[in-house]
Amino acid sequence: MARFTAGLAGAALLSAAFSAQARELSVSTVLSEAFPWGQAAEKWAELVEERSGGELTLRVYPNSQLVSGDQTREFSAMRSGLIDAAVGSTINWSPQVPELNLFSLPFFIPDEAAVDAVTGGDAGTMVFEAIESRGVIPL
């Protein structure tokens, strides 16, 4: 479940605008590279640069430093374009997207099979639509 939360939550969310030219995007992470979420963001940046042939690079900003350490501001910062993407927690973004509270309910999702069922079903579709309706594209 923790892996899923890191994945969905973050699942890394991108702001809407992209251009055809080489571009660097900012990625905010809640934790530093000493932790799995930070390591995942660094690996993601490495793969994006490699697979885009250098046309797209991700610059990772750990510890929510782009929002002065206030994790609850990451979602709003993505909406406004201050941050291009983020790897964060659903609980931190739930003030802006209440549907994300689904993943904070204790014992509702007991194992990874249940996570897959929820995210791959109607509930997952509903949550992704709720995120997108607020101006952020979920990945």
Name the residue range of residue 36's domain: 2-15+22-138
Beta bridge partners of 42: none
Q: Would you call 19 helix, strand, or coil by DSSP?
A: coil
Length of the chain counted residue by residue: 139
Q: What is the pLDDT of residue 20?
A: 58
Q: Rounded to an integer, what distance in angstroms lies between the CA atom of residue 102 and that of residue 67?
A: 25
Per-residue pLDDT of the chain (139 residues; tens, 9 = 90+): 555 444 444 444 444 344 457 899 999 999 988 999 899 999 999 999 999 999 999 999 999 999 998 888 999 999 999 999 998 888 999 999 999 998 888 678 888 898 899 889 999 999 999 999 999 999 8
Total tally of structural domains belonging to the chain: 1
Q: Rounded to an integer, what distance in angstroms lies between the CA atom of residue 49 and that of residue 24?
A: 10
Q: What is the CATH number of the domain that holds 100?
A: 3.40.190.170
Q: What b/e sequence results for 95-109 when a residue is b if at least 16 CB atoms lie within 10 Å of its CB, and e otherwise? A: ebbebbebbeeeeeb
